[in-house]
Structure 1
Amino acid sequence: MSLTASHMLALGSKAPDFKLMDTITGHLTTLEDVRGERGTLIMFLCNHCPFVKHVNEELVRISNEYRQLGFGSAAISSNDIDKYPEDHPDQMKEVAAKNQYTFPYLFDGTQEIAKAYEAACTPDLFLFDAELKLIYRGQLDDSRPGNGLHPNGRDLREAMDAVLNNRKVSEDQKPSIGCNIKWKD
């Protein structure tokens, strides 16, 4: 595990489009398929990272709560499965079932989508507004494995609540920290 921080894609950036296989359903899924009326959350996750395991439950909770309020969400795994077979699509489907993912868990085998989003770590979170412009990127909250803080999603929730209340999302955003994306050679 290599501790890595988000690159912090520029606020206002347009969400890169994608067409990736949903490991849960086996169907190709696009950005438009997961787009929410109020906003869209794109999460770069993987199966083996302890930082993702630490926040999985809260990510599912947030996705479920905010879906009812008009937010779409999807998770993407972009790791090199030759070097990290535990991140293979077959295992992704198992992890999604175990963690009760209610959002698509997409496989980015070429890693082109991770590069387009400038994703650097897992988890790496990107929240886009209704027009698919980036309004939040970075951490879920201040919790980390072993620091004694329970995940509560504070930072991401504040951004999503700002959208719901027609307020500007604060630009004071902390990068996510987690395992680096396992790039192909």
Structure 2
Amino acid sequence: MAETPSTFMLKPGDPAPSFELPDPQGKRHAWNEVAGPRGTLVVFACNHCPYVILIADTLGKLAAEWKTKGLGVVAISSNDIENYPQDAPAHMAAFAAEHGWGFPYLHDDSQDVAKAFGAACTPDFFLFDGNGELFYAGQFDDSRPRNGTQPDGGDLASAVEVMLAGSPAPAEVRPSTGCNIKWKPGNEPAYFG
């Protein structure tokens, strides 16, 4: 289980890349359908990564709270499902339900959306303000599968709080850490490796 830090291809103030991706039932969701009036959180995730599994319940609870404050949340799985079949759409709905994800969980089969965001790992977090501009790209919190720290989403929750309050973005940000996105052979982005 190698840790891969996010590379932050998007910079603060950059517009959110648009997308239209299917959920496990095949219904397509576009950016304008998942975006919240006060901001939007895009999470690159998957079913098998221990980093995602560790924070999944806490993310579900926080997302439900944030939804009441006008924040849209969407998760996207971009992993190669031929080599990682446990991340296939057939398993995504059950994973989302098990962890209380009341937000869309979409499949990026081409991996083009992950590349557009510059996503590097699972989980990787991109928080956009109500204008669709990047406000925060960083870690969920200090929890890791083997460090004994229980997830609370502290870093991300703090960024959401200051964004909703109209305050400036955090000056110091720790990058997301997790398992690298499982790129299809030959489809690795230039920023990978």
Shorter chain as denominator, the TM-score bin is: over 0.9
What is the 5 A alignment of 1:161-172?
A: 161-172=161-172
Runs (4+) of structure 1 moved beyond 2 Å? none
- Judge conservation of contact 2:135–2:163 (CA < 8 Å) in 1: no
1:127 maps to what in 2?
A: 127
Cα displacement string for residues 111-159 of structure 1 (whole angstroms, at most 9, x for unaligned residues): 0000000000000000000011001001001111121111111111111
1:152 maps to what in 2?
A: 152
1:109 maps to what in 2?
A: 109
What is the 5 A alignment of 1:1-185?
A: 1-8=1-8, 9-23=10-24, 25-185=25-185
- Judge conservation of contact 2:121–2:179 (CA < 8 Å) in 1: yes
Cα displacement string for residues 40-93 of structure 1 (whole angstroms, at most 9, x for unaligned residues): 000000000000000001111111001000100000000000000000100111
C-alpha distance in 2 between matches for 1:26 and 1:93: 11
C-alpha distance in 2 between matches for 1:67 and 1:18: 21
Deviates more, 1:75-84 or 1:91-100: 91-100
The residue matched to 2:29 in structure 1 has which SS?
strand
C-alpha distance in 2 between matches for 1:71 and 1:179: 26
C-alpha distance in 2 between matches for 1:15 and 1:164: 18
TM-score of the aligned structures, taking structure 1 as reference length: 0.97
The residue matched to 1:152 in structure 2 has which SS?
coil
Deviates more, 1:42-51 or 1:159-168: 159-168
C-alpha distance in 2 between matches for 1:95 and 1:153: 19
Unaligned 5+ runs, structure 2: 186-193
C-alpha distance in 2 between matches for 1:171 and 1:28: 36
C-alpha distance in 2 between matches for 1:68 and 1:36: 10
C-alpha distance in 1 between matches for 2:134 and 2:164: 15
C-alpha distance in 1 between matches for 2:26 and 2:68: 25
C-alpha distance in 2 between matches for 1:177 and 1:126: 13
The residue matched to 1:37 in structure 2 has which SS?
coil
C-alpha distance in 2 between matches for 1:69 and 1:42: 16
Q: In structure 2, give the amino acid aligned to 1:10.
A: K
C-alpha distance in 2 between matches for 1:93 and 1:70: 24
Cα displacement string for residues 97-116 of structure 1 (whole angstroms, at most 9, x for unaligned residues): 22121000000000000000
Task: Count residues in correspondence.
Answer: 184
C-alpha distance in 2 between matches for 1:77 and 1:19: 13
